[in-house]
Amino acid sequence: MQNYAEAVKDFAERHATCLTVVFVAGVGVLAFRRWMAGGVCRSKARLEGKTVLITGANTGIGKETALDMAQRGARVILACRDMTKARIAADEIRQKSGNGNVVVKKLDLASLQSVRDLAKDVEKNEERLDILINNAGIMMCPKWKTEDGFEMQFGVNHLGHFLLTNCLLDLLKKSAPSRIVIVSSLAHERGQIHFDDINIDKDYTPQKSYRQSKLANVLFGKELATRLNGSGVTVYSLHPGVIRTELGRHLFNSFPMWKIMLAKVFMRLVKNPREGAQTTIYCAVDESLANSSGLYYSDCAPKKPAPQALDDAAAKKLWDLSASMVGLS
Ligand SMILES: NC(=O)c1ccc[n+]([C@@H]2O[C@H](COP(=O)([O-])OP(=O)(O)OC[C@H]3O[C@@H](n4cnc5c(N)ncnc54)[C@H](OP(=O)(O)O)[C@@H]3O)[C@@H](O)[C@H]2O)c1
Ligand SMILES: *[C@@H]1O[C@H](CO)[C@@H](O)[C@H](O)[C@H]1NC(C)=O
Ligand SMILES: *[C@@H]1O[C@H](CO)[C@@H](O)[C@H](O)[C@H]1NC(C)=O
């Protein structure tokens, strides 16, 4: 025992600098993790008798948001493109929350027909809709097109949700006070709307397209809030943080091995899906936001978005363009 303690002491003395570095780095990593984890939604709001619809709720932060809504007692509709994955997620959510009122509905945002079919189903079969959460997203995929010929990221992240939201507005108004939550991203800050080439047919890059679609999310939220002023339907857009989800699937595919390894280490340090869902949950239920609309949030607090996301004229122009693309009058 004596020898062991002496050996440890000896080791510590000889490697003092090294141990200090390891200790400081450890504390640094823990502090970074804590900072990364971000804000928490502290609202205890209950949602019995209310209905929440979440797009892309079979995985990632959408699934965590759906679980939270179910735990608060809501009827939760998971609107997903893959019904097998959606049913597995719904089973898990029912089991974890003890709330049996969790249902799945088919929605492929890359098809305007599918969006219209889902909206019709909801309008016909649901008595109310209190919270709509536009969460689904695709990031940095190759140059793909939706069923209707739109560039994939703009088509899914913005246009599909634009049409869905507009088709559900009557039900949302009928259920007022109600909320629309739009999951955008920090990526909007480096985005611009390419009005003269909205499908980015010239010089497509996955980044350019993702940033455009996420800027479109914030501009849509702003214009929608203006149009809904006084209706009792309020609108929120947000950045959820950097989160360990499946969102990087297309991006990481293109990486060389060493970059994949680095990305894997980095992903251990970022938010987990539960932490990543907090700002969405906050916008969906927090009582303090009842009279706010059209603003942007990050880490469960309001945040000023990039200047191009505050451009009224661009928001109106994007609305008109989107309406004509999806065939809304
Ligand atoms: N993770 C982050 O660090 C981060 C950062 C900023 C913003 N965000 C935003 O957070 C939101 C959620 O992303 P996540 O991180 O949770 O990603 P995720 O794990 O990849 O989940 C995305 C969800 O969207 C669904 N989806 C994709 N294309 C769809 C389509 N055409 N129709 C219907 N659903 C579709 C996916 O369904 P499948 O499973 O069938 O593919 C999945 O359920 C996205 O809007 C994203 O832009 C995430
Ligand atoms: C709604 O209208 C009121 C009064 O006209 C105004 O003060 C407020 O900023 C408007 N809100 C939005 C989100 O446009
Ligand atoms: C919202 O407005 C209503 C009506 O003016 C008021 O009664 C309520 O206290 C406000 N809530 C918040 C959180 O500001």
pLDDT tens digits along 163-211 = 999 999 999 999 999 999 999 999 999 999 999 999 999 999 999 999 9
241, 38 in Cβ contact below 8 A?
yes
pLDDT band, very low/low/confident/very high, at 34 (cuts 50, 70, 90): confident
Enumerate helices (H) and strands (E) in the chain, giving the number of each.
13, 8
pLDDT band, very low/low/confident/very high, at 1 (cuts 50, 70, 90): low
Q: Annotated catalytic sites, by residue?
A: 210
Instruction: Determine which residue's CA is closest to atom 5 belonging to ligand 2.
Output: 229
Where in the chain does DSSP place strands (E)? 51-55, 75-80, 102-106, 131-134, 178-183, 233-239, 295-298, 301-302
Query: In CATH terms, is domain 38-326 a member of 3.40.50.720?
Result: yes
Cα(292) to centroid of ligand 2, in Å? 10
Q: Is 201 helix (H, G, I), strand (E, B) or coil?
A: coil
Cα(206) to centroid of ligand 2, in Å? 36
Residue list, ligand 3 pocket, CB within 6 Å: 287-288, 290-291
Which pLDDT score is estimated for 32? Answer: 80
Average of per-residue pLDDT values in the chain: 95
More confident: 27 or 137: 137
Q: Determine whether the shortest distance from the Cβ of 247 to ligand 1 is under 6 A.
A: yes
Cα(21) to centroid of ligand 2, in Å? 54
Instruction: Looking at the CA of residue 287, tell me the nearest atom of ligand 3.
Output: 13
Q: Determine whether the shortest distance from the Cβ of 242 to ligand 1 is under 6 A.
A: yes
Instruction: Determine which residue's CA is closest to atom 6 belonging to ligand 3.
Output: 291
Which among 214, 202, 239 is positioned nearest to 154, based on CA atoms? 214
What distance in Å separates the CA atoms of residue 271 and residue 37, rounded to the nearest whole number? Answer: 5
129, 53 in Cβ contact below 8 A?
yes
